[in-house]
Chains A and B, each alone.
Chain A
Amino acid sequence: MVERTYTVALAGQPNVGKSTLFNLLTGMNQHVGNWPGKTVEQKVGHLTHNGTTYRLVDLPGTYSLTANSLEEIIARDFIIKEHPDVVIVLLDAATLERNLYLVAELLPLPAPVIVALNMMDVAEQEGFKIEPEVLEAALGVKVVPMIATKNIGTRELVAAIDEVIHNTVEYTPKRPEIRSDHQEVLEQIEALIAGHVPEPYAQDWAALKLLEGDKEITRILQEQMSEAQWELVHEVLRDHDDALVAVAGGRYEWIGRMIRAAVTRPKAGQIGLTERLDRWATHPFWGLVILAAILGSAFWLTYAIGAPVQDWLNSAVVGGLARLMSNLLASAPSWLQALVIDGVIGGVGTVITFLPILVIFFAILALLEDTGYMARAAYVMDRFMHLMGLHGKSFLPLFLGFGCNVPSVMGVRVIESRRARLLTTMLAPLIPCAARMTVVAFLAPAFFGRAAALVSWGLVALNLVVLALAGVLLNRIAFKGARAAFIMELPLYHVPNGRTIGLTVWQHGLAFLRKAGTIILAISVLVWALSVLPGGAIENSFLARIGHSLEPLGRLMGFDWRLMVALLASFVAKENSIATLGVLFGASEEAGLAELMAGSFAAPAGLAFLAVQMLFIPCVAVVGVIRQETGSWWWTLFNVAFLLVISLLMGVLVYHVAGLFF
């Protein structure tokens, strides 16, 4: 007999160790994608127990199930519409009171709930004494104590899932009720909306959500009811605009009863590890010093480990592959040799050489997130990021962009709100990456001599000013100035879990190779083809013809067609513009190029070229990851167009302003 596959949803607030538990239950047997049509990450995995297969779906981490964010709507819609057979709600035992809030929201929904009480060891350290059996009796649902990082309690959790699914225990949850002073108004609303609540929503639940001012349910009922009928509901709601706090207060009263029964609190005045560390980590001055030290080490690690590995990959793997293919294709036509060796393997090389940097950055980000430090970094940076309408959490991914924009865009996923994620992603390419700085370092001395360092700093400053202005502008126009309120949990510090960090690095690396990698490869081959077809030399190629046709535009900035071609070629990789210019100016060695260029162009054109290069459309790898992370071609193309316009406008401006001085 083949049993059907059961669906188990994993719910939990942020910072409760959900990914650790998910990885523990499913191992490598998992798939990371996006929720259908959404830009929110979805993880699905499988596990088998006693011949039964369970499909485990990781719901987004949310504090509640009221429609404040996309994540909250996704989590509750999954439970209401997809009817999972069981919902596991993972709680942090050390912050049980706030964590039970999600349980209070889950119990009124139709799916049976199992409470997994994680971090029992941390709770004990913090001085809490929790009796899981008492909590179980009070809640009326199965409670499984566990320490996911030490694999304690997982077997009991799986057994509990098995029990609930095979109905060996009766499911009789004790659901929270609304505060007595709002009982009447709740009944009033329920009577008014009776018969209008569409499937699969329950009538009493919808009434409660209306009272809470839930945008999604309000919209749905407004659509379902006639204007006159809705007006009656609206009137009641208007008279009780404090109901939201009463509903939340009612849930916390219910939680208070559970806590009094099952938990003994630590004595007041006990100072835990978190408090001692936070005296430094969240201090307005020392917090910044610590953050700077951590970021400094992150860059040092990347260059100390990443750069040699990158070189080795380039020479041994990519070079080896090229030699192998040229031997294999020795008798093949020369166009095929060129396509495979210069086009395809060149593109593969671009993809592969990003990997070492990405792995190191992901590992550092995952480590900072898993220990709980990330929230502190966001806290100390919030006052500065605030000015751009950004959250403190945007700082770290943006800062990583000084190395390379690719991990920067991928690191944006640590930000919870979708709006802030998008805004940060749109701004990330404005951080000048190391490759762009290489171009500046190469050309600036020839044009500006001793002032080269000053010019380089000025160009970096220009990028940062443009970033700040673009942040303010995008926030006002595209995001309507709506900035999520700054209320953020500072989780307790934890010893990081190697398995969680390892799996995160593995998944993100794989996602990069699979999704962004294919886009990068395809576009690299395309640009390569444009640069050698039809004759084989770049001077007469399609790319050169495009450059010629763009020359009128270039003249506004003092450029000729060769500079336009160099900009186009830098789309594959920013440092390509030097090699391209080398070919186009016929420099026998790259060393002579800078002088040749300085001889052909005056300083204003040179400065304009560097400014455009610094602000130009992101390279193909960044475009690939923006598409991967936003899940939207619209936002990806918007970003390219936005930067194209900004960089060209700046180019014209810099050329004419510099012309006044030189």
Chain B
Amino acid sequence: MHRNTHHSQNFSLNALQPHERGIVTNLIGGRGLLSRMATMGFTPGAEVTMVQNFGRGPLIVLIRDTRVALGRGEASKIHIRRASDG
């Protein structure tokens, strides 16, 4: 049930559960933050896998073969959709 609630719609990276995969659709934020996120690989179309998400505290995701740790505030600015075969 949980999986279907987000189907075919955009949601924040924070909502992705461990081992789930998503595709980045959109980034919001100031130029400095956008630039850093884009440099680390968060660009529209990039696939991201959640590695650690305890529901609070920072997250760890796998993007472009790199483990990236990021705060929930930063993650809320990354919008994703569920990967089609996820």
B35 touches A213 (CB 8 A): yes
Q: Among B27, B41, B66, B71, point to the contact of A485 (Cβ < 8 A).
A: B71
What number of A-B contacts does a CB cutoff of 8 Å give? 110
Task: Tell me which residues from 32 to 51 in chain B have a Cβ below 8 Å from any Cβ of chain A.
Answer: 32-41, 43-46, 51
- Please tell me the number of chain B residues within 8 Å of chain A, measured between CB atoms: 33
Interface flags, B47-86, vs A, CB<8A=1, else 0 = 0000110100110100111111111011000000000000
* Binding-face segment, A487-495, A508-516, A548-556, A568-576: A487-495
B41 touches A252 (CB 8 A): yes
B41 touches A487 (CB 8 A): no
- Please tell me the number of chain A residues within 8 Å of chain B, measured between CB atoms: 35
Interface flags, A85-99, vs B, CB<8A=1, else 0 = 000000000111110
B65 touches A488 (CB 8 A): no
Question: Within the assembled complex, what's the spacing in Å between the Cα atoms of A565 and B58?
Answer: 49
The answer, yes or no, to whether B31 is at the interface (CB within 8 Å) is: yes
Q: Among A94, A249, A282, A488, point to the contact of B68 (Cβ < 8 A).
A: A488
B39 touches A489 (CB 8 A): no
A249 touches B43 (CB 8 A): yes
Q: Among A101, A274, A386, A486, point to the contact of B70 (Cβ < 8 A).
A: A486
Question: Within the assembled complex, what's the spacing in Å between the Cα atoms of A130 and B66?
Answer: 17
A63/B39 contact (C-beta < 8 A), A98-B66, A486-B58, A489-B66 known: yes
CB distance from B10 to the nearest CB of A (A): 15
| Residues on B with beta carbons closer than 8 Å to the beta carbon of A488 | 68-70
A489 touches B33 (CB 8 A): no
* Residue on A nearest B63 in the bound complex, by CB: A98
* Residue on B nearest A97 in the bound complex, by CB: B64
| Residues on A with beta carbons closer than 8 Å to the beta carbon of B51 | 275, 278
* Residue on A nearest B43 in the bound complex, by CB: A249
A278 touches B40 (CB 8 A): no
B58 touches A382 (CB 8 A): yes
CB distance from A408 to the nearest CB of B (A): 24
Q: Among A63, A282, A382, point to the contact of B40 (Cβ < 8 A).
A: A63
CB distance from B12 to the nearest CB of A (A): 15
A98 touches B65 (CB 8 A): yes
Question: Within the assembled complex, what's the spacing in Å between the Cα atoms of A631 and B70?
Answer: 31
B65 touches A95 (CB 8 A): yes
Question: Within the assembled complex, what's the spacing in Å between the Cα atoms of A97 and B65?
Answer: 7
CB distance from B18 to the nearest CB of A (A): 11
B60 touches A490 (CB 8 A): yes
The answer, yes or no, to whether A561 is at the interface (CB within 8 Å) is: no
A213 touches B31 (CB 8 A): yes
B74 touches A490 (CB 8 A): no
A485 touches B57 (CB 8 A): no
Closest 7 CB pairs of A and B: A248-B38, A486-B71, A490-B67, A97-B64, A249-B43, A64-B39, A213-B31
- Point out residues on A near B: beta carbons under 8 Å: 63-64, 66, 68, 94-98, 101, 212-213, 244-245, 248-249, 252, 274-275, 278, 282, 284, 375, 379, 382-383, 386, 485-492
Extra contacts, 15 of them, besides A66-B39, A98-B41, A98-B63 (Cβ < 8 A), are: A68-B35, A94-B65, A98-B40, A245-B34, A249-B44, A252-B45, A252-B46, A274-B67, A278-B51, A382-B69, A382-B71, A485-B32, A486-B71, A487-B71, A488-B69
